[in-house]
Amino acid sequence: MMYPVIVTGSATRIGKAIAKRLAARGYPIILHYRRSEREAIELAEDLNAEVVYADLSDSKSVQAMVVELSDRKIGGIVNNASSFIGNSPAERLASDWNELFGSNARGPFFLTVGLIGSVVDGGSIVNITDIHADIPLKGFTAYSMAKAALSQMTRSLAKEFAPRVRVNAVAPGAILWPEKESSEEFKRTVLTAIPLRRLGTAEDISRTVQFLFESPYITGETIRVDGGRSL
Ligand SMILES: NC(=O)c1ccc[n+]([C@@H]2O[C@H](COP(=O)([O-])OP(=O)(O)OC[C@H]3O[C@@H](n4cnc5c(N)ncnc54)[C@H](OP(=O)(O)O)[C@@H]3O)[C@@H](O)[C@H]2O)c1
């Protein structure tokens, strides 16, 4: 029997690819969204999935999602949702910090710890981090810090939850350009720093998530999927 997998931020882009791939492998899917309600509902119809709302930067909203799902058996969680905000001016520093740490670290932590009792034996948690959890991204200090916390959470919870539940991470390099338009110069600079000379695809990430779900002797590991960029 396959139990549902929660994929956060899965109405669009990489999260959507992960949800589709796991659904194709037979996992029932619980799609999580914040703003992309329409896309989440459309995808849920395609995948015969459920949807759940939470703002991961709001502790009460995360708690409500935990309560909503806590009487269920869960096969796994993919912590994919993330805000990506560059260094902030003083007047936005505190609120952007809250958004960055909420979506990338605190939200995933409380969601995962809150639901761990519902995760079945042999279940799997996969966190989508970033190569910039290790290598700082200039102009994105708080984002890099928050992803570093998620990366440490991967190893710490792998120890805490063993032997019952495995916890791993996928660290993407440059996969999809940010939603906000990127300049041609920025794109050129990024591409020349990638030994494989191209962006990755959402499928490159979803394939690795599937691999981790189906690799019962791997825990506490992070797999970089970055075309060699961090070499
Ligand atoms: N794209 C890349 O090249 C790249 C590179 C390195 C790492 N990554 C990582 O890969 C993952 C997916 O990347 P992506 O580019 O597909 O991400 P994205 O489109 O920028 O964001 C994914 C989703 O996160 C959700 N989200 C953001 N803040 C949230 C909050 N406070 N509460 C709840 N949901 C929130 C949003 O859901 P709604 O739309 O429903 O609001 C959004 O659609 C992320 O963890 C990202 O950090 C991506």
Ligand 1 lined by 206 (C-beta under 6 Å) = no
Nearest CA to ligand 1 atom 1: 176
Distance 42 CA to ligand 1 centre (A): 18
230 within some domain: no
Instruction: Residue 75: give the domain boundaries.
Output: 5-225
Q: What's the CA gap between 139 and 158, in Å, rounded?
A: 31
Which residues are identified as catalytic? 143
231 within some domain: no
Provide the terminal-to-terminal Cα distance of the chain, rounded to the nearest Å: 41
Nearest CA to ligand 1 atom 13: 14
64 within some domain: yes
Q: Output Rg (C-alpha) for the chain, integer angstroms.
A: 17
117 within some domain: yes
77 within some domain: yes
Based on the structure, what is the number of domains in the chain? 1
Distance 109 CA to ligand 1 centre (A): 16
For 21-58, letters b (16+ CB in 10 Å) and e give: bbbeeebbbbbbbbebeebbeebbeebebbbeebbbbe
Q: For the domain that residue 116 is a member of, what is the CATH number?
A: 3.40.50.720
197 within some domain: yes
Q: One digit per residue, pLDDT tens: the chain, 231 residues?
A: 899 999 999 999 999 999 999 999 999 999 999 999 999 999 999 999 999 999 999 999 999 999 999 999 999 999 999 999 999 999 999 999 999 999 999 999 999 999 999 999 999 999 999 999 999 999 999 999 999 999 999 999 999 999 999 999 999 999 999 888 788 998 999 999 999 999 999 999 999 999 999 999 999 999 999 999 999
Q: Is 119:217 a contact under the CB 8 Å cutoff? A: no
132 within some domain: yes
Q: Give the pTM.
A: 0.98
